[in-house]
A and B are shown apart, each in its own frame.
Chain A
Amino acid sequence: MNEKGANIDLLFRNGLKDFEVLPPPGVWDGIHSSIKTKSRPIILLRIAAVVTVLLALSFLTYRWSRGLSVGPSGPVIAFNVPVSLPVISSPGDNLQYLPTKKYNQLNNSSDILIETDDQAPIQKEIETTAYPEQIVNIKDSKSLSIAKYETIAGLFLTPLNESKRNSIKIKYPELQYFPENITVKPEKRWSIAAMASPTYYSSFNSGSDALSKQLSAADQPLMSYSGGVAFSYKISKRFSIQSGLYYSSLGQKIDGINSFSGFQQYANTKGDHNFEVLTTNGTVYTNNPDVFLSTDGTNRIVTAYTKDVFDPNKASLQPVNSSLDQNFSYLELPVILKYKIVDKTIGINLIGGLSYNLLVNNSVYTTIDGSKYSVGDTKGLNPLTLSSSLGMGMEYNLSGKLSLNLEPTFRYYLNPFSITTGSFIHPYSFGIFSGVSYKF
């Protein structure tokens, strides 16, 4: 039995050695989606980090802007403009009073409340030892006029001596005080702009291997476009920060790939996968069963048919084109800092910043007589890329609120579009954004 057993064992061991069976289609998709799902938390963490940075920037900007307009916090009465006002002296005391009509009353008596121990209308002296030039005229028990302020912004009033009878207790609110003879126009810090640009797209390839050189040699830039809405906040006279939402469509033409239509009738000669074309930005997968691809003298079509297996000319397939167009669409969230170099009717800005770009669509097609013939899409693209931008902005002020903008901008992608490319390919684009902005 043992010998017989060994024979039957050998029969199966040798017979099944190196035996292969093609797995059913779709298994890889299940495996890949499972691997992808597990890597998703990293992407979510990245997005969370971006949101945190943006929120932090917004908060800092808000704090900064408040700091510039209000000044120190606490019991402060701020005087924005130094003024020199006449002072009336009253004989018999060393108090000085200001004629109320010449000086500003606080419009809202509730801004400063004065409480006295008795209800008699009095004019009280506010301690002047700390600030001898500071005289206050108290018109009645419920209102207070600021008298003399030769002054500097942010003059402090100190609480009165508690030991004095009839002393005045002041609740110090935060307020701004502007003498009435000086008009201060609130500055328009916000602006909204609609911008659009044709974009020239290409890439730097630092790969030294023959394949990456071969791939990049066949890439031709396609004219692309970008456009969107931008919000800008003026932080100071020269600096402003800008964000917004842009949609950009970039692409490239891949030469040397011959496409034919009419392959569907020969579909039974194909395996369980379609054509795969290597590009500098991922791998193109055909999902149109009617398309047949071939190439001359290069090995960039991974799944190419040799002519002895299938010859499109012998099969009378219809030639479509000798190149493929690869297109990527991104939603962009920029954070841009602008520095105003020239602040005149025509202003000039230096622009620089970063942008997070979310891939929303990609397609591969070829054209025949001006119409698009869908081929498939590109796999292995980075869902999120980071780009830096540098530019020079020109701003022509049509009015106080409206201006025309022209911003030649160079953009360099810090990470490549594709996560599958072996070489170091960093795309870049150049566009001249133009549009209108409105200040408010």
Chain B
Amino acid sequence: MSEIKKIIKGCLAGNRRDQELLYRRHASKLYAVCLQYSGNDEEARDILQEGFIKIFENLDHYKHEGSFEGWMRRITVNTALEKFRCRHNLYRVDDIDTIQEPDAEPDNQDYAGLEADDLLGIIRELPTKYRMVFNLYAIEGYSHKEISKMVNISEGTSKSNLSRARVILQRRVGSYIGIKKKVANE
């Protein structure tokens, strides 16, 4: 029996040590996902906590088919989406009609200076709806049809949100790289 199977078995038996082991092994990766989907640390912490509670509660539904980490990630993303749907009306989506597409996208070489921390910071600055759609499409690989059901928007809105998210991200990546270069030159 693989180690993860043993840990899952222990968790299902209520073994606290195995539960904690499971948490310690995967919490860091899942917390990064939570940060990606949330606007602030407190919300990310809530998503992580609620997500793990759901993972433990639904562990008996995991069929040992496919990646366990992927299964946990899906639960975490769904928890983030639930939170988003609950607070949907509280968020204000910036009117970005005035946002112009940048003249030139930085080439791939320019990306080299960007760390994961930087990318996370940039993605978290996106308006919530755009962040959700961008994450689901670009990172998780869902289609617009799937996203429209998950976020409760039309496919067209999903496409438009993605497009606008990309515009914002390109602009911010560009300015971020510019700032970094400037700092480096100084």
**Footprint of B on A, CB under 8 Å?**
1, 4-5, 7-9, 11-13, 15-16, 18-24, 27-28, 30-32, 34-35, 38-39, 283, 379-380, 419-420, 422
Assess the A31–B53 pair: CB atoms within 8 A: yes
A sample of 24 inter-chain contacts (CB < 8 A) reads: A8-B166, A11-B111, A11-B114, A11-B173, A12-B119, A12-B138, A13-B138, A15-B115, A16-B32, A16-B120, A19-B29, A19-B32, A19-B120, A21-B31, A21-B35, A21-B120, A23-B45, A27-B45, A28-B24, A28-B27, A32-B16, A34-B49, A35-B19, A35-B56
CB of A355 to closest CB in B, whole Å: 23
| Majority secondary structure of chain B interface residues (helix, strand, loop or mixed) | helix
Question: Given A12-B123, A31-B56, A32-B19, do A24 and B116 touch, yes or no (CB 8 Å)?
Answer: no
Assess the A420–B138 pair: CB atoms within 8 A: no
B169 sits at the interface (CB 8 A): yes
Query: Which residues from A are CB-within-8-Å of B119?
Result: 11-12, 15-16
CB of B64 to closest CB in A, whole Å: 20
CB of B56 to closest CB in A, whole Å: 6
Assess the A20–B173 pair: CB atoms within 8 A: no
B108 sits at the interface (CB 8 A): yes
B96 sits at the interface (CB 8 A): no
Assess the A39–B170 pair: CB atoms within 8 A: no
Taking a contact as CB atoms closer than 8 A, the residue among A7, A13, A30, A422 that contacts B105 in the complex is: A7
Question: Given A28-B20, A31-B52, A32-B20, do A20 and B163 touch, yes or no (CB 8 Å)?
Answer: no
Query: Which residues from B are CB-within-8-Å of A379?
Result: 16
CA distance in complex: A22, B120 (Å) = 14
CA distance in complex: A163, B27 (Å) = 93
Assess the B123–A18 pair: CB atoms within 8 A: no
Taking a contact as CB atoms closer than 8 A, the residue among B24, B29, B114 that contacts A15 in the complex is: B114
Interface residues of B in 62-115 (CB under 8 A from A): 101, 105, 108, 111, 114-115
Question: Given A19-B120, A20-B29, A30-B49, do A12 and B139 touch, yes or no (CB 8 Å)?
Answer: yes
| Majority secondary structure of chain A interface residues (helix, strand, loop or mixed) | helix
Interface residues of B in 157-185 (CB under 8 A from A): 162-163, 166, 169-170, 173
Assess the B28–A22 pair: CB atoms within 8 A: yes
Assess the B48–A27 pair: CB atoms within 8 A: yes
CA distance in complex: A4, B20 (Å) = 43
Assess the B139–A4 pair: CB atoms within 8 A: no
CA distance in complex: A283, B169 (Å) = 47
In the complex, the chain A residue whose C-beta lies closest to that of B23 is A28
CA distance in complex: A15, B16 (Å) = 34
CA distance in complex: A15, B49 (Å) = 25
Question: Given A12-B138, A21-B35, A28-B20, do A419 and B14 touch, yes or no (CB 8 Å)?
Answer: yes
CA distance in complex: A425, B35 (Å) = 42
Assess the A23–B31 pair: CB atoms within 8 A: yes
B146 sits at the interface (CB 8 A): no
Query: Which residues from A are CB-within-8-Å of B173?
Result: 8, 11
CB of B42 to closest CB in A, whole Å: 9
Query: Which residues from A are CB-within-8-Å of B10?
Result: 422
CA distance in complex: A4, B165 (Å) = 12
B36 sits at the interface (CB 8 A): yes
Assess the B16–A8 pair: CB atoms within 8 A: no
CA distance in complex: A50, B160 (Å) = 63
Query: Which residues from A are CB-within-8-Å of B115?
Result: 15
B143 sits at the interface (CB 8 A): no
In the complex, the chain A residue whose C-beta lies closest to that of B119 is A15
Query: Which residues from B are CB-within-8-Å of A9?
Result: 137-138, 166
